[in-house]
Amino acid sequence: MPFDKGLQLIDGWMQNYSAIKAGYIKRVENLQAVTLSIGNVNALVGDLFTRAVRFNNGERILAPLNQSQVSAMVHKGFDRQVEAGEEITGWDVLNWGTYVLKPHTDDMTGLIQSTAEFNDYIYDALCPSDAAKNTFLLN
């Protein structure tokens, strides 16, 4: 992104800071309010993994995580939370995915976009009635 475009983007964020912050808080609250069964989580993980495989086979499809990242997400988040017997919320699933989206697991140039795509994917999947009203940082 050219420097001047970046400054324009930052200027837009600063002018709309209160509305942007309120939108983020609403997204977090909405995701925290969604309780998921193990079956729901398995369906999400299955869809993420399927998307990663299809993307690797050349399909032009949104795959916010690659196969290794989906596996790490399950290991770092889902397995531990199920073992602890804790309730699983949409916010938990979002955190599992963003936990594995780190510089050592993704190309730095695509890291912000991957994180935005994953956030939008989870939000759209778990809060569909609200998804059209809210957009993530880069949309």
Residue 49's pLDDT is 96
Q: Is 122 exposed, middle or buried (0-12, 13-18, 19+ CB in 10 A)?
A: buried
Sign of the torsion angle spanned by Cα atoms 18, 21, 27, 29: negative
pLDDT per residue as tens digits for the range 33-69: 999 999 999 999 999 999 999 999 999 999 999 999 9
Give the per-residue pLDDT at 139: 32
Average pLDDT, the chain: 86
CA neighbor of 112 nearest in space, from 6, 32, 4 = 6
Please report the pLDDT score of residue 82 as a whole number. 87
